[in-house]
Every structure is written in C-alpha cells, then in structure tokens.
C-alpha cells in the first residue's frame, strides 16, 4: 500500500513538473503565471512589460489596473515600515 502511494505521489510530481515547465517557455508565460499565483507588484509590472514587448498594448493597459492598486499598497507599506522603525522622514 505504501509503495502504491509513493508511486502515485511521484507520478503527481512528474505531472506538476511538466505543467510548471510550460511556464518557462517565454517571458509572457512566466509573468502571467506569476500574476495568478503571486500577484505582487513585481509580477504585475513585469507582466505589463512583457505584454508591451509582445505588442499587446490593450492587455498591457488592462494590467495597469491591478498594478495601480499595488502601487498604492506599496506606498502604504513603506510608510508603515518607517513608522515602525521610527526613522525620521
């Protein structure tokens, strides 16, 4: 029973790896994947840049929506960090 579970887990790993490998085929693929799994400022800005480089300007403009929300969050985070560290402005 344990061997069967082991084999199934390893097969699952292989499938996930195969799927993950497709994300590294291009800049667009990797950053698109990043915006889904890790929607950070870095992921969205690089996704936007990849869209612009690919000539997809309309999609790049759409990507600015989430990006502008993240920029606001980043400013708030920076202000909070400085308050916590008591660093004079």
Burial 7-45 (b: 16+ CB within 10 A, else e): eeeeeeeeeeeeeeeeeeeeebebbbbbbeeeeeeebbb
Site string for other proteins, 29-58 (x = CB under 8 A): -xx-xx-xxx-x-xx---------------
Binding residue count for other proteins, defined by CB under 8 A: 28
Token output for 67: 């990006």
Residue 14 binds to other proteins (criterion: CB under 8 A): yes
Shortest gap between Cβ of 44 and other proteins (angstroms)? 10
Provide the minimum distance between the beta carbon of 38 and other proteins in the complex, in angstroms, as a whole number: 4
Of 1, 4, 17, 87, the one binding other proteins (CB under 8 A) is 17
| Residue carrying the six token digits 């202000």 | 79
């Amino acid at each position: 029973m344990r061997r069967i579970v082991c084999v199934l887990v390893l097969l699952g790993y292989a499938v996930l790896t195969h799927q993950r490998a497709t994300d590294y085929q291009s800049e667009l693929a990797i950053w698109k994947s990043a915006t889904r799994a890790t929607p950070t400022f870095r992921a969205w800005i690089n996704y936007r840049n990849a869209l612009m480089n690919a000539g997809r300007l309309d999609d790049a403009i759409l990507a600015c929506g989430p990006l502008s929300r993240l920029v606001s969050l980043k400013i708030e985070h920076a202000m909070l960090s400085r308050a916590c560290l008591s660093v004079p402005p």
